[in-house]
Chain A
Amino acid sequence: MTHGTSRRRWHPLTIAAGLLLAAAAVTGALLLARPGWLPPSAWLVLCAAAGFATSGSS
Chain B
Amino acid sequence: MEGDARGWTRRSTLALLPALGVAACARSVAAPAPLRLWAMSWEGDYSPLLMPAFTAATGIAVEVQSLPTTASHEKLLIATAGGALPDVFMLFNGWLTEFATIGAIAPVPDPSIVAGMFPGMLDATRVGGRDYAVPWSVAPQVNFYRRDLLAAVGYDAPPGDWPALRTMALKLKRRRPDDFVFLMLLNWPTALINILSQAGVRPLRDRDTRANFSTPEGQEAFAWYASIFADGLAPKALSTEVQDPVAAFAQGYFAIWPSGPVTLRDLAQRNVPKHLWSTARCAGPRGPGALSGESASLCVAATTGRPADAWALVRHLTSVESELHFQRAIGNLPANLHAWASPQLDQPVLAAFADQMRYPAPGPKVIEWEQIQLQVQFAAERVVRGVETIPQALAGLDTRVDRILAKRRALVEAGKLA
A and B: real partners? no
